[in-house]
Amino acid sequence: MANEQTLSDQELVRREKAKKLESIGIDPFGSRFERDSLSSDIRAKYGSLTHEELEEKQIEATIAGRIMMIRDMGKVAFLTVRDLGGNIQVYLRKDVVGEETFVNVFKQSDIGDIIGVKGTVMLTRTGELSIRATEYIHLSKALRPLPEKFHGLTDVEERYRRRYLDLIMNDDSKRCALLRPQIIRTIQRYMDGLGFIEVETPVLQPILGGAAARPFVTHHNTLDMDFYLRIATELPLKRLIVGGLERVYEIGRLFRNEGMDTRHNPEFTSIEAYQAYGDMYSMMDLVEGLFRNVCENVLGTTVIERNGVELDFSKPFRRISMVEIVKEKTGIDFSKITDFEEAKKLAEERNIKVEKHHYGVGHILNLFFEEYCEKELIQPTILMGHPIEISPLAKKSNDPRYTERFELFICGSEYANAFSELNDPIDQRERFEQQLKERELGNDEANQVDNDYVEALEYGMPPCGGIGVGIDRLVMLICNVNSIRDVLLFPHMKNK
């Protein structure tokens, strides 16, 4: 509780009003209240009725919500009350609710207070659907004033730090918060309909694997062991494919100890799915269907706008290899380059930085893609043919320099990563050992050798397609917002 000497005049007045409510036997912080309607229910059911029809039917409704506006005209007042469904006007008359309630309860109300109202549905003279109050019930006192509507949480950082205020004041934040669970439920229904089984795998993992990322490390005292917060769910899920579950998926939190920007948060949500007897082409069909299904079921259309660009998810996604797109943008054909020094020289000529752990032509190809191509992929594009150097868990393609892997790009951002999964335990061990060499050369994002996983593969894993999709980025796409913090209710922030 703030010290009274540091309180503003408004805060002092609100505390005095709370004491007045207490003095007449009303708990300033209320108790259970049964409502029967949301504002959105009332609009949907009765918004088309005329004044005469509403007067004839005398429809009763009980609502509860936060006061967002008060217009007190003496013996009559108009209030705007906000609940989960939006705003609705309340018409309050002293001679209807009674002088005691009007003077001793309503007059102690402030913007931000939470109230209950019982009454009848009506239309005002201006045609606004409203509740004519017959009972006015105080439920909870707001001891601090809300930010001003037009000059309030204009500081974006403060919006994220005090999400509760942002949700009260910002309709768009509330829209994203409500759309996110709809999107996740739609994904689950889509995957369930394809025969996938939703599972859970450990967040604490003893081996770093499944992606290229820096981990968070913690220690378990009883076992006296270090564990990683998982950077991916891949390896445990593929063990389940070995075990015969055949089609599995998990929607869960991943943790990566890396930089933060508009597309990255230290913890984020993904879906990973694995399909026995499939390959990367099975995953292409799955991801196209998933994005199309989410758009149709959440937005009601497959054509959406993103930063002024119209995206059409009803059409087949463009499919192109990394070699082809780099050649298209730079004129360099990496399929004809086999010498690392030649590739490195091409990079240095274009001021592309080559790190110590970049040892193959494939690394340079990927650097060229990131420099010249990634931001150009606006319409949904499936990028295939990733070099083996950057794909330690994917099957080799017919040309052993490349793998059966693809990434989905939309508006210059990656939304999905998929493989024909590597199920050859001998090849897998060699890839892990190559990753170990990269770690020794300074790449702390390289995988460790997971001997248990290799042993699982030795029992036989069927040919398999696998995919990971970033849920947060998909929500950003559907909500048409540009920062991951807009779709996370509690994004991580620097200390003030």
In the chain, where are the structural domains located?
A: 4-146, 169-317+379-486
- In terms of Cα–Cα distance, which of 139, 112, 136, 104 is closest to 20? 104
Q: What is the pLDDT of residues 260-294, one digit of tens each?
A: 888 899 999 999 999 999 999 999 999 999 999 99
Evaluate if residue 251 carries a pLDDT over 80: yes
336's tokens: 């004809």
Which CATH number does the domain 169-317+379-486 belong to among 3.30.930.10, 3.30.420.40, 3.40.50.10950, 3.90.190.20? 3.30.930.10
* CB atoms near residue 421 (< 10 Å): 30
Q: Strands of 267-276's sheet, edge to edge?
A: 197-198, 247-255, 267-276, 464-470, 413-420, 405-410, 381-384, 318-321
Query: Could you give the CA distance from residue 146 to residue 36 in angstroms, rounded to a whole number?
Result: 27
Instruction: Quote the percentage of the chain above a pLDDT of 90.
Output: 84
List the end-to-end C-alpha distance of the chain, in Å, as a whole number. Answer: 20
pLDDT class of 149 with cuts at 50, 70, 90: low
pLDDT class of 20 with cuts at 50, 70, 90: very high
CB-based contact 480:299 (threshold 8 Å): no
Evaluate if residue 445 carries a pLDDT over 90: no
The fold of the 4-146 domain, in CATH, is OB fold (Dihydrolipoamide Acetyltransferase, E2P) (2.40.50)
CB-based contact 162:265 (threshold 8 Å): no
In this predicted structure, which of 58-67, 203-212, 473-482 has the lowest mean pLDDT? 203-212
Judge whether 4-146 and 169-317+379-486 match in fold: no
10 Å CB burial of residue 58 (0-12, 13-18, 19+) is: exposed
pLDDT at 151: 46
Rounded mean pLDDT of 303-311? 92
Evaluate if residue 152 carries a pLDDT over 60: no
* pTM, entire model: 0.90
pLDDT class of 330 with cuts at 50, 70, 90: very high
pLDDT class of 436 with cuts at 50, 70, 90: confident
CB-based contact 260:467 (threshold 8 Å): no
Separation in Å, CA 83 to CA 31, 69, 489 = 17, 13, 18
CB-based contact 446:438 (threshold 8 Å): yes
pLDDT at 2: 54
Query: Could you give the CA distance from residue 285 to residue 287 in angstroms, rounded to a whole number?
Result: 6
10 Å CB burial of residue 73 (0-12, 13-18, 19+) is: exposed
